[in-house]
Amino acid sequence: MAAEIVTTDTVADIKKSTRRRATTRSRSSVKPMRTVAIFAAVGALVAAVALPAYAGTKAPAAQAAATLQQMAVDDAQSLVVASQATTTPMERGSYSATTPEEIAKKKAEEAAKARAAAAAAAARVASSGGGSVISDADLRLISAGSGEVRSPLPGGSYYVSRTLGNGHNGADMVAPAGTPIFAATSGVVRISSESYYGYGVAIVIDSVVGGQRVSTTYAHMIHGTRAVSAGQTVQAGQFIGKVGNTGRSYGAHLHFEVQINGSLVEPIGWLRANAG
C-alpha cells in the first residue's frame, strides 16, 4: 500500500474543515437555547400582563366575602336577648317598670285590683236572704292600715276562688289545710260551733268598726281547732282556728263573710279598703 503524502496545504485544509464543523455544531446547539429563552420571555410578559387583571377580578369577591363575614360577626355581637330588651322604663298606666319581672308583678297587681272592682260590682247587684247589699262606695269604715281590721289569713297563703254573688254570701279563700285563721276585727264571739249548718266548724264575731256594726263569719275549719268560745272577747289579729274542709265544702278553704249593719258586703274589697 502506497504511503499517503501529507503536505502543508493539506494540513491547513484539514484544520479549516475541523473549525467549520465545530462552528456548525456550536450554532446548532445555540438555536434551541435561544428558542427556550424566547418562550420564557414571552411567558413572563404574558404573566405580567394577565396576573394583575386576574387578581383584580378576584379581589372584589374576596373582599365581599370578608365583608359578609365581618357583618355576621358584627350582627352576632349586637344580638339582643329578651332579658336585655327593656333598657328604659316602660310606662303602664300609673306605674313604671324596668324589667320583665317588675312588669309581670305590676300587671298582676293591676289584675288583682280589677278583680276586686268586679267583685265589688257584683256585690251591688247580688241578692240573698241576709238583707240588702252595701255598695262599694260604703266599704271604707276606717283608715286603711290602722290595725282595726286585719286579714283573716296570712298574706300570700291563699287565693280567692269566688266571692259574693249568685247566692254565695262570702268569699272562698283557698289555702292549705291547717293554715292559721285570725280574727279580722276586735269584738265578741257570738257563735263558736263544731257543726254550724253547712258551714261546718265555724265562728262568728260581732264588732263595731268606724261606728258601724260589723259581723264576720269564718267557716269550714278543721274539727277541734277552734281557739275561742261563744261570749269571749277577741282582738283583731288573734288566732281563732285553722283552715279545713268541714260542712258543705269541696276542698280546704276559708269561707269568709262580712255584714255591715246586717247587710252583706263583698269581703275582699272590704278588707282591701279597711285593712290596707
From 25, 252, 276, select the one nearest 146 (Cα to Cα).
276
* Tens digits of residue pLDDT in 89-104: 444 444 455 787 777 7
Query: What percent helix, strand, coil does the chain show, rounded to 5?
Result: 40, 25, 35
In this prediction, residue 46 carries a pLDDT of 57
259 secondary structure, DSSP code: E
Contact 184, 216 (CB under 8 A): yes
Set of cell numbers at residue 247: 260542712
* Tens digits of residue pLDDT in 121-149: 444 434 344 444 455 556 888 888 889 99
- The average pLDDT across 165-180 equals 95
Domain ranges of the chain: 9-60, 103-275
- The average pLDDT across 6-14 equals 58
| Residues 146, 219: Cα–Cα separation, whole Å | 26
- The average pLDDT across 185-193 equals 97
What percent of the chain stands above pLDDT 90? 45
| Residues 90, 197: Cα–Cα separation, whole Å | 52
Mean residue pLDDT of the chain comes to 75
In the chain, the largest separation of any two C-alpha atoms, in whole Å, equals: 177
Lowest-confidence pick of 24-28, 54-58, 180-184: 54-58
CATH 3.40.50.12780 fits 103-275, yes or no: no
| Residues 187, 240: Cα–Cα separation, whole Å | 12
